[in-house]
Amino acid sequence: MENKGIAIAGSILVDEINTVSKYPAEGELTQITAVSKAVGGCVPNVGIDLKKIFPELNVYAIGKVGKDENGNFVKKTLNQNRVNTDMVKATEQKTSFTQVISVSGGQRTFFTFPGASADFGIDDINIENLNVDIFHLGYFLLLDKVDNGDGIEILKRVKKKGINTSIDLVSENSDRYNTVLPCLPYTDYLIINELEAGHLTGILPEIKNIPDIAKKLIKFGVNEKVIIHFPSGSVCADSKGNITALGSYILPKDYIKGTTGAGDAFCAGALVGINRGLADEEILAYGTECAAMALSTKDATGGLVDINTAFNNCRDFERNKLCL
């Protein structure tokens, strides 16, 4: 059967990263020692990861950028990574961006400008012309129009077209998670972390509770699989009531250079596994291997390699033993 590929829709932004030696107190001045720029958001992170993991896969970006320098930077970066950008719209609004203040060897602070992505909605997708196997939409709770009704309509129409749907969220401490629940019956694959899963169900996201959380999300309407990833492992619940768990890798000392994009890398790995029709444990293994690769570099996508290389790079690592 022909593999049509995967479309990644939703959040597109640019990270403008400013490195400082220390964060200033209010009213103080500190010197920026380095400035860099990187693409960010669900569409660039997951889209680029997909092409690195499985280069033969057709990957399509769907989203909204501005007719500005950052918008051009996003499209150029996606094209350089062989992600199709024909469905990325350019608008008069400014491209969404995040100003990142990064303290050398320490924490990062984020100031975000909603921009064009906040205005992304159903009118920006030519659903009738979509020709893919999986349509992944993210991030819920970050896209104003998607969160205010467009998300559920997009998923309904995509499913009506016969395309499998997948969604992802951002983590926030709020009561807005209930806005996502009506979308779950139109979602085939829900790929999220334990904190998001706990907020969706109201169950404390302790490791021992993850299988019950996943089962509850299936009962909430997810059609095929709920995949929950967390630092020590991942769990998959399917619509038949099966639960599969897999520990994450115990990585060597000093291996982890940054955590940015690890969740997106796991998501991309899982999507490739799903697209290839693999068993649930293999899907989790793909996600785990890709997350481990992402952790090896500071940026979101730089550590990703093809899935066979990722497997070989991880084969000597031991796994966490999950007590579920």
Q: Is residue 19 part of a domain?
A: no
Q: Is residue 18 part of a domain?
A: no
Task: Residue 203: give its domain's CATH number.
Answer: 3.40.1190.20
Domain total in the chain: 1
Cα–Cα distances in angstroms (integers) from residue 159 to residues 9, 52, 87, 144, 147, in the given order: 15, 27, 19, 22, 18
Mapping DSSP onto H, E and C, the string for 79-124 reads HHCCCEEEEEEEECCCCCEEEEEEECCCCEEEEEECHHHHCCCHHH
Per-residue pLDDT tens, the chain, 324 aa: give them.
678 999 999 999 999 888 898 888 999 999 999 898 999 999 999 999 999 999 999 999 999 999 999 999 999 999 999 999 999 999 999 999 999 888 876 677 888 899 999 999 999 999 999 999 999 999 999 999 999 999 999 999 999 999 999 999 999 888 899 999 999 999 999 999 999 999 999 999 999 999 999 999 999 999 999 999 999 999 999 999 999 999 999 999 899 988 888 999 999 999 999 999 999 999 999 999 999 999 998 888 999 999 999 999 999 999 999 877
Q: Is residue 178 part of a domain?
A: yes
Q: Which two tokens stand for residue 83?
A: 């992600």
Residues near 60 by beta carbon (within 8 Å), at least 6 away in sequence: 5, 6, 7, 8, 47, 83, 84, 86, 87, 132
Q: Is residue 246 part of a domain?
A: yes
Q: Is residue 114 part of a domain?
A: no
Structural domain that includes position 277: 6-12+41-96+121-319
Q: Is residue 212 part of a domain?
A: yes
Under DSSP, is residue 286 helix (H, G, I), strand (E, B) or coil?
helix
Q: Is residue 33 part of a domain?
A: no
Q: Is residue 34 part of a domain?
A: no
